[in-house]
Structure formats: C-alpha cells, structure tokens
Copies of this chain bind each other. A is one copy, B any other.
C-alpha cells in the first residue's frame, strides 16, 4: 500500500494553502490549529457524524457525500445566524481508495470554498466508514439566533421545500416507487445549507432551527425552549412540483405526503419565528429563497403543535429522525 496516513493528509487535505488569512494563524500540520476570533465576535461551534449504512448509503457518490458531510454542519451554523469560517474533518475509512478520497474531498472543498470555509485540522483512521465534522463560525456578540425567544403572534416561516429528502430516502429504500423518483433522490443527496439566509435573519428573527430531524420535532424544540405553542396550517406547507404531481397522480397518498413533510428528516431548511413587521423587512432584503409562512406562535403554555388543514384539526403522530428509537 503506497499511502500512509500522513501522505493521505498531504495529498487530499492540503487543498487550501491559507496561513495568516481567514483568521487562520496556523493551519494543518501541527498538533493543533490556531485561529483568531475578531474582537466583538463569539465563536459558534457544532459537530455532526455521518455513518455509512445509517446516514448514507455505502455506494453514494463520494463527491455528493463530501459536499453533504460539510453541508449538514454548516446548516447548524446557519441556524444560529453564524458566518462559517473553519472546519475539521475526521474521516474513518476501511482502506485507502485514492479515487474515492479524491472525489470526496472535491465535493467537500466545493462547498467549503463556496463559503470561504478553511479546513484547519483532521484525523484519518482505519475502520468502518464514517465522517465527523466540527464546523466553526463567528457571530457578533449576543446576536446569535437561538431557540428560546419565539414570541406569541410571531409568524412561523420555513425556507425552500419540505419533504422531498424524506421521499427520496423512501425511494432509495424501495418503500416507494415513483415515476420521478430521481428528482427526490437528488434532493436527498444534494444538501445546500442556508448560510446567507441565516446571516440575514440576525436581528430580525426571534428564534431559528434547521429542520434536519423533521419539521415537527425541530419546531417542538423551539416551543419547549420558548414556552409557547404553535398553530400549523398544513395546506400552506411548501411542496415541490414533483411532490404535488405524485399526490395528484395518487402515487403518494395524502397521509404519507404529510408524514414526509412534517416528520421526514434530512430537510436542511431553516424554520424560524419572526414578528410580522420584521418579516416584511426580511422579504424586502432577501429575495433569493422562497420563504413560506406555515403557522404562528400562540399563547398556550402546553407547548403543543395544533395541526389544521383548511381549518380542520389533524392528528399525526410525531416521529422525527431518531437513531436509537427503533
């Protein structure tokens, strides 16, 4: 085997040569990296692991996996309104596969470069394939979006489309067979974190979360932290054309459709609460992503979610993404 651990790092991870820039005082190549946080800013950190056979299929396109591994972490930074800056990459592989690694890192750096995120450290180990990323960003002191400040009468808004990733997963698992299934699988495999939107929400939204674990479950985290309840109008949920088409042609029934949209994981959209007035300001400022009002925060202190469809009450089990539940 021609590659040792260190050659590996040399070959694939040293794509970016950035000392003394982007706040990187010392990058890859010592025991640690050294980073400069600008005065007046706080450090924002998150970590997420992706495991083969659980979070991704072992035969997934490594380019898309590299992209997505970083994307799910940047999505958490976006949910805080942080500006992403740096990341570490710990990767465990059963063997060195230069072609796989080249594609994985090409995907990883495609997203990193897009948002000026610098790889500042990593670890390569031998074992069952998994990826753990620790992403770091900065936010102006005390300005981060949290979960605990949703207010009564705030609008509940979601970015983009919900449900397509969960439908894509069901197709991959052959639980569903759809004429347009490639469209949904593409959404599952290609995650785009809402960085610019997150940064734009700072000072406007009252709370924010990314809906990677399912809309209902993630909304419930806001309600718990903010001690309030929510009305959700499911007829407002932003569905894709492919999803609507599958509904119209009865390839998906209505109950499953709702389940994918409300409980499906892997949507890396932002869900946020915002006062009506601030929402108008936001819509003027930020026009590049669809933002849909799907409900509002109400007074009930029971921290419950009241689902209605065209004013009719709906009951749906809450079943967000949960690794150890079954």
**Interface residues, chain A, with chain B CB atoms under 8 Å away:** 1, 3-6, 8, 25-26, 29-37, 39, 42-55, 76-77, 79-80, 82, 86, 88, 90, 92, 95-96, 120-128, 130, 132, 134, 136-137, 139, 141-142, 144, 146-147, 209-210, 225, 322-326
B1 touches A46 (CB 8 A): no
Closest B residue to A139 using CB positions: B34
Residues of B close to A54: CB separation below 8 A: 125-127
CA distance A146 to B137 in the complex (A): 24
A31 touches B322 (CB 8 A): no
A123 touches B25 (CB 8 A): no
List 6 interface pairs A-B (beta carbons < 8 Å), by A numbering. A1-B326, A6-B322, A31-B209, A36-B43, A43-B43, A45-B121
Partner of A128, one of B35, B46, B48, B127: B127
| CB contact under 8 A between A47 and B122, given known A32-B82, A322-B5 | yes
| CB contact under 8 A between A124 and B323, given known A35-B45, A144-B34, A146-B26 | yes
Q: What is the minimal beta-carbon distance from A162 to any residue of chain B, in angstroms?
A: 18
A1 touches B324 (CB 8 A): yes
Q: What is the minimal beta-carbon distance from A11 to any residue of chain B, in angstroms?
A: 12
Partner of A121, one of B32, B46, B120, B147: B46
B4 touches A324 (CB 8 A): yes
B43 touches A37 (CB 8 A): yes
Residues of B close to A121: CB separation below 8 A: 45-47
Copies of the protein in its oligomer: 2
Residues of B close to A53: CB separation below 8 A: 127
Q: What is the minimal beta-carbon distance from A232 to any residue of chain B, in angstroms?
A: 20
A125 touches B322 (CB 8 A): no
Residues of B close to A142: CB separation below 8 A: 25
Q: What is the minimal beta-carbon distance from A147 to any residue of chain B, in angstroms?
A: 6
Partner of A45, one of B6, B32, B51: B32
Residues of B close to A77: CB separation below 8 A: 31-32
Closest B residue to A8 using CB positions: B324
Q: What is the minimal beta-carbon distance from A137 to any residue of chain B, in angstroms?
A: 8
A125 touches B76 (CB 8 A): no
B31 touches A210 (CB 8 A): yes
| CB contact under 8 A between A324 and B126, given known A34-B44, A42-B25 | yes
CA distance A165 to B30 in the complex (A): 23
Q: What is the minimal beta-carbon distance from A225 to any residue of chain B, in angstroms?
A: 8
Partner of A42, one of B35, B137, B146: B35
| CB contact under 8 A between A32 and B323, given known A26-B146, A45-B88, A132-B123 | no
Residues of B close to A36: CB separation below 8 A: 42-43, 141
| CB contact under 8 A between A125 and B44, given known A4-B324, A26-B144, A92-B49 | no
Q: Which 10 A-B pairs have the closest CB atoms?
A: A51-B127, A134-B134, A132-B132, A128-B128, A31-B79, A32-B46, A31-B76, A126-B323, A47-B88, A35-B43
